[in-house]
Structure formats: C-alpha cells, structure tokens
C-alpha cells in the first residue's frame, strides 16, 4: 500500500444477550446502538463531523424502519447532512467489510476520512408474514422467524450449527475439546473484564436507573461438567458435538472507528491507534463455512507480505468452538496467541457488528500488551472468510 491507512477513535457498546428480559441492550434498536458509537468515535478522535467524507456501516438483518442504517445512525449521531452514508452486508463479515470498504475508498482517493462500523440488534429481528402483500384470503399463513431463517444457509438449507458439526466431523474435533475451549473462553473473558481490559473500549448506555457497562454473556460460574450435561435438544445435530454451550450467543451490540490516511490524521492532530496493513475475503464451501478464517488469514498474510510467525495475536471469531479449533490446528496457532481475552462464546456475536468489535478489541489488546501485529478474522455464513491485519501504531515489539 502506498499510503499508510490508520484507525482512530475505536469504540464499542457492551455486548448484550438477546431477549426481552435477558439482555441489557434489548430495548435499543440497531440504529441507537450505532449512533452512540458514532458520536463516541468522533469524540475520542477529536474529529469534527464535517471532516468526514463518508460513513459506512455493516448490518445483517436490516430493519425496515431504518433502511440504510448507516445514514439513519449518522444523522441520529448529529453528523452533518452533507456527509453521505451507505450500508454493506456480508453476513458475519459485514462490520469488517465496512472497514475494508473504507480502506478501498481511501486507496482509490475517493475519500479521506471515513467513519466505519457495524451494528446488530438481534433482539429486535422481527417475525415476518410472507405472501401477505396482496391479501391472505381465507387461509392460514405461516409466520417466519427472520432470525432463525437468517441463520440457515439458503443454498444448502443447513443451520449454521450444522455446518460447524460438518467441520467437527471432517477435522475430528471432539466434544471434550470444544467444551474445554468454551469453558476457557468464559474464564478468559471474565478475567479480562474484571481486570478492566474492556473498559477503555466500551461506550456506556443508560437504561432506567442502570448504567450498562458490562458484557452480558460472560458466565464465570460455567464449568466443563455443566457443559457436559447440556440436554439433547440444545444440540444442532442429534448425537453430535456442537451445542448451544460451545457456540456463540445471540447478541446485541455495535462498534465503530475512523479510517483515514496517516497524513490527514497528522494534519488534523488525530492520534492514530493502529495501521491497517492487509486484508482479504475468500470464498469456500457453504457446508464448511467455519473454515473461512483458515483461508482468509492465509490470503491476508499474503496480501500484507507477512508470514504467520510475524503475528503476535490472532482473533478468530468464536462462532463455534469446533470451527475455531479446526482453524487453529490448520494454521498452527499456539493457544496463548489466540483469543486471549475470550471470544464470542462468552461475549456474544452481534453478527453485523462483530468485525468492527473485534478490530476494536484487537487494538486494545495490542495497546495493553505493547505488541505489534494482530490478525482479526471470522467465518462468514454462506461459505466465506474475512481477515484483516493491523499494526500497533505506538510501535510495539
């Protein structure tokens, strides 16, 4: 890359569990979550909103009451009318796509400063009544759960959990290993959360009397024994190994960050947090979509001209323990370099926001440890993988 492209003002909301009474954030819409991040990103970076050339947001279940959610959130956040905005959808990679699109616009010299992010309120995904447009006549019609349908592959008809089971079978990932990984995810997230590692990333929300600062999903009380006792109905495949306890939760959350050239950051006295040095999206079999990160990380390393020994930390989105373990084994990543602050199994996976959330998390991790290079990657429903490589702007070892 000729121009250095940097990130500033990264932040995220707490990640809430989806559900009317379960989650702390279920009462907020995707646009509310994102607009809070947008304002915070501008505040943190010290950038004035009229300096923006574009706003891009990733969102999977795009709601009919806020079409082009990037624009709605941007206006809600008080960003000037004349800053254009668009929304991207690449399933679980949507948040990453927004950041990559920002990079591409800047590289093409069509933008200088872009606000990018992702958002998802899975709590508020509606049930829909198809075929009702021109009247139902005197007939029963079936309600479709848009959330459930969204988690089913449209080509193969497999649930996402089924594709993880496919991976577990193909790579021989045992139930015990998956449960152990899930347990560790909760423990790592609990320690990081109590140790204040997430605080600098989080935009607080006020709901009634409560100020919400905490991620809902972390369960320090979870034990491997509890996971081994999970009832059969919570398995994706009868007699299989992938179940609700070793998969990511259904969640609400958003994140955003500012992507700009190093030149314009320095000119506007904005402190860059990280530099983007490579990225890639790849396609793979929809039935083995969980292996996406394996292909994408290799492609991104190639794009950046690095090899995997150069990388200090890997973050592979924990859609399912099975799929992360298979990718880890194929890539030969040592476990102390992978998802060190826990992952989506504990924290949750608000699909459209995850890409931006994980980049925010990686930036904080690099800053906290003083290390240099981090890779963020995720599998993408429909058979894709996405990865981005970022470098600590402070240098690092």
Partner 1 sequence: MKTILKVGVIGGGAMGQGIASLVAQSGIPVVIKEINEELAQKALENIFSKIDKAAERGKIMSDKADMAKSLISASSDEIFLTNVDLVIEAVFEDMEVKKKVFHSLDFVVPKRAIFATNTSSLSITEMASATERPKQVVGMHFFNPPITMPLVEIISGKETDEETVETVEQFARDLSKTTIRVKECPGFLVNRLLMPYLNEAVLLLSETTLKPEEIDRQAVEFGWRMGPFMLLDYLGIDIAAHVARILFQGFGERAKPAPLMEILANEKRYGVKTSAGFYVYQPDAGFEDIMKIVEKNFPQRRPLSPEEGFMRMMRGMANEALLCLDEGISTAEDIETGCRLGIGFPFTKLGPLHWAEKEMGRKIFTEEEKW
Which of these is catalytic: 11, 37, 327, 379? 379
Of 136, 194, 228, 266, the residue at the interface with partner 1 (CB under 8 A) is 194
Q: Sketch the per residue contact string, 139 through 178, with partner 1: x for CB under 8 A, - otherwise.
A: ----------------------------------------
Q: Does 36 bind partner 1 (CB under 8 A)?
A: no
How are beta strands 113-121 and 54-58 bridged, if at all?
parallel
Please, which residues have CB within 8 angstroms of residue 282's CB and are 6 or more apart in sequence? 292, 295, 296, 299, 384, 385, 386
Q: Does 94 bind partner 1 (CB under 8 A)?
A: no
Closest approach, Cβ 243 to partner 1, in A, equals 14
- Closer to partner 1 by CB, 17 or 328: give it: 17
Of 4, 19, 63, 162, the residue at the interface with partner 1 (CB under 8 A) is 19
- Closer to partner 1 by CB, 17 or 90: give it: 17
Closest approach, Cβ 17 to partner 1, in A, equals 8
- Closer to partner 1 by CB, 19 or 84: give it: 19
Residue 349 bears catalytic tag: yes
- Closer to partner 1 by CB, 112 or 252: give it: 252
The interaxial angle of helices 175-194 and 321-331, nearest 10 deg, is 90
Of 166, 178, 219, 384, the residue at the interface with partner 1 (CB under 8 A) is 219
Measured on CA atoms in the order 58, 325, 181, 235, is the torsion positive or negative? positive
**193: nearest Cα among 70, 388, 5, 347:** 347
Task: Give the separation between CA 112 and CA 54, rounded to whole angstroms.
Answer: 8
The dihedrals phi and psi of 389, each to the nearest 5 degrees, come to: -115, 125
Interface segment toward partner 1; rule CB under 8 A; list 121-129, 166-174, 204-212, 233-241: 204-212
Q: Does 125 bind partner 1 (CB under 8 A)?
A: no
Q: Does 367 bind partner 1 (CB under 8 A)?
A: no
Closest approach, Cβ 22 to partner 1, in A, equals 4
Of 64, 81, 142, 209, the residue at the interface with partner 1 (CB under 8 A) is 209
Closest approach, Cβ 305 to partner 1, in A, equals 39
Of 135, 157, 172, 196, the residue at the interface with partner 1 (CB under 8 A) is 196
User: In the chain, which ranges are continuous DSSP H helix?
Assistant: 30-45, 69-76, 94-107, 146-150, 160-171, 175-194, 224-228, 262-267, 292-304, 321-331, 344-347, 354-369
Q: Does 21 bind partner 1 (CB under 8 A)?
A: yes
Closest approach, Cβ 208 to partner 1, in A, equals 9
| CA dist 105 → 55, 56, 81, 86, 282 (Å) | 11, 11, 20, 12, 20
Which of these is catalytic: 11, 37, 92, 284? 92
Closest approach, Cβ 213 to partner 1, in A, equals 6
DSSP 61: S
What DSSP string describes 162-227?
A: HHHHHHHHHHT--HHHHHHHHHHHHHHHHHHHHTTTTGGGBPPEEETTEEE-S-S---TT--HHHH
Residue 92 bears catalytic tag: yes
**359: nearest Cα among 317, 330, 325, 395:** 317
| N-term to C-term CA, the chain | 22
Q: Does 228 bind partner 1 (CB under 8 A)?
A: no
Q: Does 122 bind partner 1 (CB under 8 A)?
A: no
Binding site for partner 1 (CB under 8 A): 17, 19, 21-22, 190-191, 193-196, 199, 209-214, 218-222
Show which residues are catalytic.
92, 349, 379
């Amino acid at each position: 890359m000729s121009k250095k492209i940097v990130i500033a003002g990264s932040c995220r909301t707490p990640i809430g569990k989806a559900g009317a009474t379960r989650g702390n954030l279920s009462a907020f819409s995707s646009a509310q979550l994102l607009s809070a991040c947008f304002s915070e990103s501008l505040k943190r970076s010290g950038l004035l909103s009229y300096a923006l050339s574009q706003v891009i947001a990733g969102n999977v279940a795009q709601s009919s009451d806020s079409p082009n959610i990037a624009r709605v959130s941007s206006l809600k956040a008080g960003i000037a009318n004349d800053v254009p905005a668009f929304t991207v959808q690449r399933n679980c990679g949507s948040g990453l796509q927004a950041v990559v699109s920002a990079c591409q616009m800047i590289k093409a010299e069509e933008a200088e400063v872009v606000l990018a992010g992702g958002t998802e309120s899975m709590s508020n995904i509606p049930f829909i009544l198809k075929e009702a447009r021109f009247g139902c006549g005197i007939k029963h019609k079936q309600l479709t759960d848009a959330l459930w349908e969204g988690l089913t592959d449209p080509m193969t008809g497999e649930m996402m959990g089924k594709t993880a089971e496919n991976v577990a079978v193909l790579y021989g990932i045992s139930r015990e290993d998956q449960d152990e990984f899930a347990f560790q995810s909760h423990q790592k997230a609990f320690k990081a959360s109590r140790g204040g590692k997430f605080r600098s990333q989080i935009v607080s929300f006020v709901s009634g009397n409560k100020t919400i600062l905490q991620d809902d999903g972390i369960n320090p009380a979870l034990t491997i024994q509890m996971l081994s006792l999970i009832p059969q109905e919570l398995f994706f495949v009868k007699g299989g190994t992938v179940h609700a306890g070793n998969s990511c939760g259904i969640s609400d959350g958003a994140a955003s960050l500012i992507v700009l050239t190093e030149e314009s950051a320095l000119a506007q006295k904005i402190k860059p947090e990280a530099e983007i040095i490579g990225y890639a999206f790849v396609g793979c079999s929809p039935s083995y979509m969980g292996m996406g990160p394996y292909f994408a990380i290799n492609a991104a390393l190639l794009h950046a001209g690095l090899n995997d020994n150069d990388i200090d930390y890997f973050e592979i989105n924990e859609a399912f323990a099975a799929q992360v373990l298979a990718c880890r084994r194929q890539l030969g990543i040592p476990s102390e370099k992978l998802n060190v602050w826990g992952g989506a199994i504990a924290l949750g996976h608000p699909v459209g926001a995850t890409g931006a959330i994980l980049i925010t998390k990686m930036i904080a991790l690099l800053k906290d440890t003083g290390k240099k290079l981090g890779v963020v990657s995720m599998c993408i429903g429909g058979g894709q993988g996405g990865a981005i490589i970022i470098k600590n702007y402070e240098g690092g070892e």
